[in-house]
Amino acid sequence: MSGTVTTSPTRPAPHRRAIALMLLCCLLWSMAGVVTRHLDQARSFEVTFWRSFFCALALSGWFLWSEGRGAVAHIRSSGLPGLISGLCWATMFVCFMVALTLTSTANTLIVNSISPLVTALLAWLVLQSRIPGRTWLAIALAIIGMAIMFGGALDGTDGKAALGMLVALGVPLAAAVNLVTIKKSGGQVDLAPAVLIGAAVSSLATLPLALPFAASARDIALLALLGVFQLAIPCVLLIRAARYLSAPETALLGMIEVVLGPLWTWLFAAETPSPATLLGGAVVIGALLLNELAGRPPHTSNAQSSP
């Protein structure tokens, strides 16, 4: 009597969980647009201040609860990598909002779309990581998809808008440095405190520009929601997920946020996406699927005979 045992190797469970965490991160990050559409009076730097403030407050509470009297020592233990990562988070938090005051959301997102490419190049230079051909192809397709989604917004770009796009460039550059820092630490240093550092620096930097406050009580409640669920939780989850993903893969998965954002404003803020937005979003999602599916180990079959 004989039997055949077929094995189908798949990606390790930690890698699959990391992808799921990144999808959750993007889901939470993407709520920013639809929530800010419902603000009454808070704008620009005040939005950045309150969002960062509540992020810092939430993480401070978490570390006090989880670490007790050792909370400060735990934050300090992140050392130089934590400081670098924290400054990167602060740069991303501030540059994104400042860019939005100078140029359109579409222009800002176009600049942000180069994040996977910058991350891949920096990882190659600093970490000497070999970037698979499928990832380079996926990065190129994702940038094309973003250009389709928002390319029309570049028509008639003036000096102020160009300055806004230059400021927005700080986001993908800081994101790339941040992801490479996370990978370089190799999981040996807990960089969750870096999100707290970044939120604290961001709130302090924007406080003078946010005064006098104009936010209503409803605005503050919505910005508290963003600070906790759109910054604190997903940013910490990204740090956990990035341990099991390459830096370029993490940046690529993060682009799902840009696809989900217009979807939520369509469903809950009556902003109908254009055909170009739908087509470009499909190209971005297709690029991400290509990168993930092409990287799966091939199925193999091993035959074993038994009496």
Decide if pLDDT at 305 tops 50.
no
Decide if pLDDT at 303 tops 90.
no
pLDDT (mean) for 121-142? 87
38: phi > 0 → left, psi -120 to 50 → alpha, else beta; which?
A: alpha
How large a percentage of the chain has pLDDT more than 70?
Answer: 87
pLDDT, position 296: 64
> Domain coordinates of the chain in residue numbers?
16-295
Range from 21-35, 75-89, 257-271 that averages highest in pLDDT: 75-89
**pLDDT tens digit sequence for 101-115:** 777 666 777 778 788
- Measured distance CA(134)–CA(214) in Å, rounded: 48
The model's pTM is 0.82
When mean pLDDT is compared across 45-49, 187-191, 198-202, the lowest value belongs to 187-191
pLDDT, position 264: 81
* Residue 156 banded pLDDT, cuts 50, 70, 90: low
- Measured distance CA(154)–CA(170) in Å, rounded: 19
- Measured distance CA(232)–CA(110) in Å, rounded: 25
Of residues 191 and 36, more confidence is placed in 191
**pLDDT tens digit sequence for 232-251:** 999 999 999 998 998 988 99
**pLDDT tens digit sequence for 27-37:** 998 888 788 87
- Measured distance CA(264)–CA(30) in Å, rounded: 8
pLDDT, position 110: 74
On whether the CB atoms of residues 183 and 123 are closer than 8 A, the answer is: yes
Query: Could you count the other beta carbons within 10 Å of the beta carbon of residue 206?
Result: 25
Decide if pLDDT at 155 tops 60.
no
How large a percentage of the chain has pLDDT more than 90?
Answer: 42
- Measured distance CA(296)–CA(307) in Å, rounded: 34
Decide if pLDDT at 88 tops 80.
yes
pLDDT (mean) for 15-28? 93
pLDDT (mean) for 144-170? 75
Decide if pLDDT at 253 tops 70.
yes
Decide if pLDDT at 163 tops 90.
no
Distance of CA 205 to the CA centre of its chain: 21
Of 69, 51, 89, 93, nearest to 193 by C-alpha is: 89
Range from 153-157, 180-184, 185-189 that averages highest in pLDDT: 180-184
Decide if pLDDT at 7 tops 90.
no
Decide if pLDDT at 301 tops 50.
no
* Residue 154 banded pLDDT, cuts 50, 70, 90: low
| CB neighbour class for 209 (10 Å; exposed up to 12, middle 13-18, buried from 19) | middle
**pLDDT tens digit sequence for 37-76:** 788 988 878 999 999 999 999 999 999 999 999 999 999 9
